[in-house]
Amino acid sequence: MKILIIEDEQSSADRLRRMLEGEHEMVGFCASNAEVRAFFGEEAHAEVDLILSDIQLGDGLSFESLRTVPTTLPVIFTTAYDHYAVQAFRFNSIDYLLKPVDNEELHTALAKVKPIVNSQSSIVNSPSTTDAIAQILASVKSQAIRYRERFLIPHRADEYLMVPVSEVSHITIRDGVVRLCTLQGKTHQLSMTLEEAESQLDPQRFMRVNRQFIINAAAVAKLSTYFLGKMRIHVTAFPDAEIIVSKDKVATVKRWLDS
C-alpha cells in the first residue's frame, strides 16, 4: 500500500517508517495541519491508499485538516491520548493505535484496511473519510473535554499541596523520577509518568518538547539557537534548566509558541 504518515515527532515518524519499509511504500510525511493541506492541495492524494496520522500536532488536532481530504481514504490514528476520542473511532470504524506503536498491532490494523484498499466497491459503499472525520470532530468538540486543572501533591506526612496548572513552569523526568516545577521556582515530585501528565494537560498550553520535558508556554522567557540546528528553551523560574529541542521539532515548537 502507498501510505502517507502524519506525525510531528521525527522519532515516531522514523519508527513507523522502519516498521513499514520493505512491505509498503511511504509516499509522504507531514508534520503539521498546514503541510497536510498543502499535500492534498497539490492533488497528490491520488497516490495515497492509506493515512497513518497522529492526533495532536503542533498546530492543532489533525482532524481539522483531515476533514478536508477530498477523497475516500482509510485512516489509522496513532495517539498517546486514549481519554477523549476512542469511542468516536470505533463508532466510525476508523482504527487507532496507542503510542508507542507496537509492530504487531500496526500490521494487524493494516491487514484490516487492506481489503478496503483492494476493493473498489467497498470504498464506494463506505462512508467517506471527510464525513467520518467531520463526525469525529463534532463528537470530540461536543464531549466537553476536561483537562487537568490542578495537582494534589503530598507535602508532609499529613499534608497536601494544591498546585494549579497555571502555576506550572514545566514537568520533567530525571533518573526515573517525575518532578513538577512551578513558576515560583519550587519543585515537587509527582506519582505519575510523564506520558500520563502529558495526556492530562491542555495541548494548547503545554507541550512535550523532548523526552524529558513538558513545558508551559507561559513559562517560556526566550529561545536561543543551539548547535547542530537544535534550539534551547529558557524558562523564567529555572534559568539553568537545559531544555533542548531537536532540529526536527524546532519548527513545530515555534509554531506552537507563536499561536
What is the tens place of the pLDDT at every residue in 62-72?
877 887 775 56
Distance CA 66, CA 136 (A): 11
State the Rg of the chain over Cα: 20
CATH code for the domain defined by 150-257 = 2.40.50.40
Q: Which of 232, 236, 231, 225 is nearest to 170 (CA)?
A: 236
213-259 pLDDT per residue, tens: 999 999 999 999 999 999 999 999 999 999 999 988 898 899 889 87
- Degrees, nearest 5: CA angle 103-104-106: 65
Distance CA 88, CA 135 (A): 8
Domain ranges of the chain: 2-142, 150-257
Phi, psi of 67 (to 5 degrees): -70, -15
Residue 170 — left, alpha, or beta (φ > 0 → left; ψ -120 to 50 → alpha)?
Answer: beta
Percent of the chain exceeding pLDDT 90 equals 37
Phi, psi of 122 (to 5 degrees): -65, -40
Would you say residue 123 has pLDDT above 50? no
Asked if 219 contacts 234 with a C-beta cutoff of 8 angstroms, the reply is no
* 33 CB-near residues (< 8 Å, 6+ apart): 57, 59, 60, 62, 64, 65
Asked if 36 contacts 51 with a C-beta cutoff of 8 angstroms, the reply is no
Indicate the CATH number of 2-142 among 3.40.50.2300, 3.30.465.10, 3.90.1150.50, 3.40.50.1010.
3.40.50.2300
Q: Which of 198, 238, 237 is nearest to 99 (CA)?
A: 198
